[in-house]
Amino acid sequence: MTAEFRPPSAAACQGCLAAPVGPVEDAPKDARIALSLPGVHCQVCITTVEHALSDLPGVHSARVNLTLKRALIEADPEVRAADLIPVLEGVGYEAHELDSGALQATQTDRAGRDLLMRLAVAGFASMNVMLLSVSVWSGATDATRDMFHWISAAITLPAIAFAAKPFFVNAWSALRVGRLNMDVPIVLAIVLALVTSLWETSLSGEHAYFDAALTLTFFLLAGRYLDYRTRAVARSAAEELSALEVPRALRLTGDGQEEEVAVAALGIGDLIRIRPGARMPVDGEITEGRSELDRSLLTGETLPVFAEPGLAVSAGEVNLTGPLTIRATAVGKDTSLHRMADLVAIAESGRSRYTSLADSAAKLYAPGVHILAALSFLGWYLYSWDVRTALNIAAAVLIITCPCALGLAVPAVTTAASGRLFRKGMLIKHATALERLAEVDTVVFDKTGTLTAGTPELTNLQDHASTDLAVALALAEVSAHPLSVALTRAARAAGIVPAEITDVTEVPGYGTQGQWQGRLVRLGRATWVGAAQGSQTAAWLSVGEGEARPFFFSDALRPGATEAVAALQKAGAEVVLMSGDTTLAVEALARRLGISRWVAEALPQDKSARIVRLSEEGKKVLMVGDGLNDTAALAAAHVSISPASALDAARVASDIVLLGQDLAPIPEACDVARKATRRIRENFRIATVYNLIAVPLAVAGLATPLMAALAMSSSSITVSLNALRLR
């Protein structure tokens, strides 16, 4: 789409003007252009693309990132992405402009790097301290043991201060508002272990927990890093989807010239040119031109609407046949696209009540651990009247119960499951989406664009005489209207040869006409060829004699739609079809797919209200939809999926994005989600078993640092291995 918006060739002239004025280095900052290159895959591609780009005048440097399949270009400010794309297409690579503002790659990178650095420091320090501890456990005594302990302390204290900072920060922000989270017991355990170990070391005692404190930090950071990576991958893919839609519009200047501007720069009253195939950037009123509009993303209706001067249009509608000029009546936040956001915000407030498995485990776990440690401290103090022994044992209890395995239990499983679903073409955007998906028992599908591909299919080819078909094909071939394209495809596939027609012209908004054997022939809207408008999507052919003949179209099913619905029903889920389209179209599709419950002509509010009602009945609803009219319903549902072809607003409102065309991964995703939740619960159980064995020993005062290290490492490793079984 970007190629259509090629700017007027002003770039060359600006270059000439800039030359004599001062040094070029002081010119305004270099433009950074990001291009998405879905086709690059090898070393030759990298070299070709980088060469092609850096040979262009004005480009300073170009670097391909093969992992992200992107090229980053530093160039003079007047170089535009639209100039670079044809160059890359010339060397054989498909390229799309990415909105570099929407990518924010540098910021997310920094957080990941920071976490990786802390993980490395914790790993390095814990290995060194562990080596020293092993020699203590294997029998170092007296001065040697004290020296080893002091060296361990010297490594541990700065390492913990740096590596465990995220935990300190999180725990503090939770405590400040009077709440407990997973990080509070972690911080307490680390701090208490360090304090008692230092105290013991200064009294040349036998037990020090420096190694335990560091390994704990290391394992927990590993969990955090996995969690971060999973989310970063999903976020960067989601950002890339929205960055592909660079919001530009063609504004008409006073003297009738077109200029390309960002949509944000449009104001009320501006005249905007909409080319065929383009989407309305703002709400407005048509002032010039005739065409047809596709409103399916907004309303779910598949029938194109006739457009003529005076008609009000909303942002998001697609212009089909002729160029239109509109006068903007609402821009930016006031457009109907944005007003939908209020509906979404209301619907979303219901969902935030979901507590993740990890949170509910933490709620049980955090107070339990604190009470247990406090009780063992009190008990031992009352028994021996010795603060040192009591504190030592309380520290041992905290270290041994510390949620090492719990911290890994959820991220390890989510990473494995998300990775598996990503390979199947599903992007998990929300952290708890998998857990919620596992509970689903009702699936609500939208029709247009979700179960159907949004491309029409000719249904009554066999009803027509071959001469009619030949005329229709000849007329349809010259038009880019979706119905004409579908007719051409079907007729070509049936081996029809187009008739000889002269003076073929397309009349925007009506159809195409021409001269055939001295008669005027027309293919187009019912009223234009003199027929009655039916309820079904149709194009009518008039050959100058007899009645006009209808060509009926139905929406083609998306690949995998039948299989997905059947598999979901087989798995015991109730499938509901909910659409804004006409009753006839919805009923036909429901019957075709074997769906018994369906709702037609539903307004956006109706959709979300029905979903809320289903949830109130105790159902866990999965909503699959793509249109603007689905956004509120997507946000209201327990969990939601939208295809990558959906509008940005719908993708933002949904938890999972389907990257391919195929719907078949949906039932499989439910299956994987159920398995993942089972693994998470298993992991919690494994961690509990380890605690049940180790905690009594710790409370009894029999725990040693060696035991703590063994219990911690073995439970973390079992939990990670259990999670890997999902892949």
Partner 1 sequence: MDVLVFLIPISLFLGGVGLLGFIYTVRSGQYDDPEGDSHRILSDEWDDHPRP
Contact criterion met (CB below 8 Å) for 164 and 117: no
Is 446 a known active-site residue? Answer: yes
Closest distance between partner 1 and the C-beta of residue 379, in Å? 39
Please pick, from the candidates 10, 13, 27, 66, the single residue that binds partner 1 as defined by CB under 8 A. Answer: 66
Q: With respect to partner 1, which residue has the nearer C-beta, 88 or 186?
A: 88
Least separation in angstroms between CB 156 and partner 1: 13
Residue closer to partner 1, measured from CB, 85 or 159: 159
Q: Which residues contact 158 (CB under 8 A, 6 or more apart)?
A: none
Stretch near partner 1 under the rule CB under 8 A, chosen from 66-74, 193-201, 315-323, 719-727: 66-74
CB-based contacts of 140, cutoff 8 Å, min separation 6: 148
| Residue 107 lies near partner 1 (rule: CB under 8 A) | no
Q: Name the segment binding partner 1 (CB under 8 A); options: 43-51, 324-332, 573-581, 634-642.
A: 43-51
- The Cα–Cα gap between 353 and 327 comes to 43
Smallest gap from Cβ 62 to partner 1, in A, equals: 13
Report helix angle 583-593 to 561-570, nearest 10.
60
Q: Is 128 in the site for partner 1 (CB under 8 A)?
A: yes
Strand ordering across the sheet containing 639-643: 426-428, 656-658, 639-643, 621-624, 442-445, 574-578, 597-599
3-state secondary structure of 274: strand
Shortest CB 117 distance to partner 1, Å? 6
Shortest distance (Å) from residue 137 CB to partner 1: 17
Pick the closest to residue 621 from 672, 560, 576 (CA basis): 576
Out of 13, 91, 111, 127, point to the residue binding partner 1 (CB under 8 A): 127
Per CB under 8 A, 65 contacts partner 1 = yes
Query: Of the candidates 114, 100, 115, which has an alpha carbon nearest to the alpha carbon of residue 68?
Result: 100
Q: What are the residues whose beta carbons fall under 8 Å from the beta carbon of 269, sequence distance 6 or more?
A: 327, 328
Which listed residue (16, 19, 24, 42) binds partner 1 by CB under 8 A?
Answer: 42
Question: How many CB atoms are closer than 10 A to CB 87?
Answer: 16
- Closest approach, Cβ 206 to partner 1, in A, equals 19
The rounded distance, in Å, linking the Cα atoms of 510 and 513 is 9
Q: How far is the CB of 152 from partner 1 (least distance, A)?
A: 11
Classified as helix, coil or strand, 554 is strand
121 is a site residue for partner 1 (CB under 8 A): yes
Q: Is 108 in the site for partner 1 (CB under 8 A)?
A: no
Q: Which residue lies nearer to partner 1 by CB, 124 or 422?
A: 124
Regarding 68 and contact with partner 1 (CB under 8 A), the answer is: yes
List the interface residues with partner 1, window 148-187 (CB under 8 A): 151, 155
Largest CA distance in the chain: 115
Phi, psi of 626 (to 5 degrees): -130, -20
Q: Which is nearer to partner 1, 52 or 499 (CB)?
A: 52
Question: Is 233 a binder of partner 1 (CB under 8 A)?
Answer: no
232 belongs to the binding site for partner 1 (CB under 8 A): no
Q: Is residue 47 at the binding interface for partner 1, with CB under 8 A as the rule? A: yes
Position among 91, 111, 120, 710 found at the interface with partner 1 (CB under 8 A): 120
Should residue 714 be labelled a site residue for partner 1 when binding is judged by CB under 8 A?
A: no
CB of 119 to partner 1, least distance (A): 10
**Distance between CA atoms of residues 3 and 7, nearest Å:** 9
Binding track over 381-420 against partner 1, x by CB under 8 A: ----------------------------------------
- Residue 120's closest CA among 152, 154, 159, 149? 159
Check 76, 83, 183, 446 and give the catalytic one: 446
Q: How far is the CB of 42 from partner 1 (least distance, A)?
A: 6
Q: Is 124 in the site for partner 1 (CB under 8 A)?
A: yes
Under the binding rule (CB under 8 A), the answer on residue 113 touching partner 1 is yes
Site string for partner 1, 451-490 (x = CB under 8 A): ----------------------------------------
For residue 462, what is the DSSP state?
A: G
Residue 144 as a binder of partner 1 (CB under 8 A): the answer is yes
CB 120 within 8 A of CB 161: no
Helix axis angle for 705-724 and 665-699, nearest 10°, is: 170
| Strand ranges, E, within 170-302 | 248-252, 258-262, 271-274, 283-288, 291-294
Q: Is 43 in the site for partner 1 (CB under 8 A)?
A: yes
**DSSP string spanning 413-431?**
HHHHHHHHHHHTTEEE-ST
Report the distance separating Cα 19 and Cα 693, nearest Å.
78
Count residues contacting partner 1 (CB under 8 A)? 23
Q: How far is the CB of 375 from partner 1 (least distance, A)?
A: 40
- Contact status: 569 vs partner 1 (CB under 8 A): no
Closer CB to partner 1, 157 or 261, in the complex: 157
Among positions 33, 49, 64, 470, the unique one binding partner 1 when judged by CB under 8 A: 64
Q: How far is the CB of 111 from partner 1 (least distance, A)?
A: 13
When asked if residue 349 is in the footprint of partner 1 (CB under 8 A), the reply is no
**Nearest C-alpha neighbor of 477 from the set 456, 454, 497:** 497
Is 117 a binding residue for partner 1 by CB under 8 A? The answer is yes
Judged by CB, which is closer to partner 1: 106, or 352? Answer: 106
Candidates 441, 472, 343, 360; CA nearest to 406 is: 360
Stretch that binds partner 1, among 39-47, 487-495, 526-534, 698-706 (CB under 8 A): 39-47
The three-state DSSP-derived secondary structure of 59-123 is EEEEEEECCCCEEEEEECCCCCHHHHHHHHHHCCCCCEEECHHHHCHHHHHHHHHHHHHHHHHHH
> Would strands 519-524 and 538-542 be described as parallel, antiparallel, or unpaired?
antiparallel
Task: Point out which residues bind partner 1 (CB under 8 A).
Answer: 42-43, 46-47, 64-68, 109, 113, 116-117, 120-121, 124, 127-128, 131, 144, 147, 151, 155
Query: What is the set of active-site residues?
Result: 446
